Amino acid sequence: MNKPKGLLGSIVYTMATVFVVFSFVFVFALAANAASTIGTNLSTTGTFLVNPASNSATSVQFQNAAGTSYFFGDSTNSRIGVRGAPSTVFEVQGTASASYLMTANTIQIGGVASAAYNRIGTNTTSNSFLRSSSNDLLITGRLEVDASAQFDRGLEVGSTASAGYFLTSNSIQVAGGASVAYSRFGTNTTGTTGELDSANDLLISGALEVDGKASIAGNLQASGRFILDTAASHSFVGDLILTSQLTVGTTTASASGGAGYTARFVGPGTGTASFYFGGNDSATTGTCFQLKSTTGAWIYMRFYQGVATPTLSTVRCH
């Protein structure tokens, strides 16, 4: 536009300039509120605000050159999604990485439903000890630890577990969850608290089978029957003390008339029982029995060579 000369020309030139500027602003304002396409880069040094006219699950989208959306803004539910419409506050469809993961609440892996404790998987806890705290963890699947693991409190396994070594500084409880001072197989409690009171004591509620050798350095107490049903020989290095009857070769130590025998020996043949009482082969003092008479006095019975009947006397055996 050529600039006119004189006062009138100056006025006309000024009014024309104002009209052009006003028209540009008006057109730009109208275009900003309609669908627009920016063909070059867009940059701003101030606030970049996107305010849709109405809320929707995909009100904001970023697309690649092929027209595929990879970033979604859900203004209806206040959610952000990457590579897919979000169903949570922030959702990434695909692999995501971060230098650090910090959260003030729980983490849920393998599922999007929230729980009061951390989870890997979607199962819910059935144990009361897994409390509603963000420092508790439930693993639905398997757990493998290739290095050492340390547990300061109880560890519970609901299925099969294996270990190269099992070391514990306290008692073990097998087939039961309640804890006692001694180790147990089963849930029975001891009737001899003075004997079983530490972690190195063991109570077995059921049967015990030992296919190899068994060595007992202390006392062996049995409130039930003690049965040896093998053909092998059995020996006792120490004393064998019985507080009840001794029965050999039969199942009862009682006479037919009801009078109990202290000991009863029955041989393999009818009316036949063979016994051996004596020292070693070089002994010359013979066999001596210490018995009580009907008056309660001790008498001693000996067998001498060539004598048909034993000799009773008050001479002590030892």
- Number of Cβ within 10 Å of residue 226's Cβ equals 6
CB 69 within 8 A of CB 61: yes
The whole-angstrom separation of Cα 134 and Cα 116 is 6
199-219 mean pLDDT? 88
Higher-confidence position of 213 and 273:
213
Higher-confidence position of 21 and 135:
135
Check whether 20 has a pLDDT greater than 50: no
Q: pLDDT band at 299, cuts 50/70/90?
A: very high
In tens, the pLDDT along 46-105 reads 888 888 888 988 888 899 989 999 999 999 999 999 998 888 888 888 888 889 988 888
The whole-angstrom separation of Cα 30 and Cα 170 is 81
Domain segments of the chain as ranges: 1-31, 164-208, 284-318
In tens, the pLDDT along 115-154 reads 888 999 999 888 766 667 888 899 998 888 898 888 777 6
Lowest-confidence range among 38-52, 168-182, 189-203? 38-52
CB 291 within 8 A of CB 299: yes
In tens, the pLDDT along 219-247 reads 777 777 777 777 788 777 777 777 776 77
In tens, the pLDDT along 23-41 reads 444 444 444 455 667 777 7
Q: pLDDT band at 161, cuts 50/70/90?
A: confident
Q: What is the pLDDT of residue 215?
A: 85
Q: pLDDT band at 203, cuts 50/70/90?
A: very high
Provide the 3-class DSSP secondary structure of residue 22. helix
Q: What is the pLDDT of residue 127?
A: 75
User: How far apart, in Å, are the Cα atoms of 204 and each of 165, 168, 179?
Assistant: 22, 19, 15
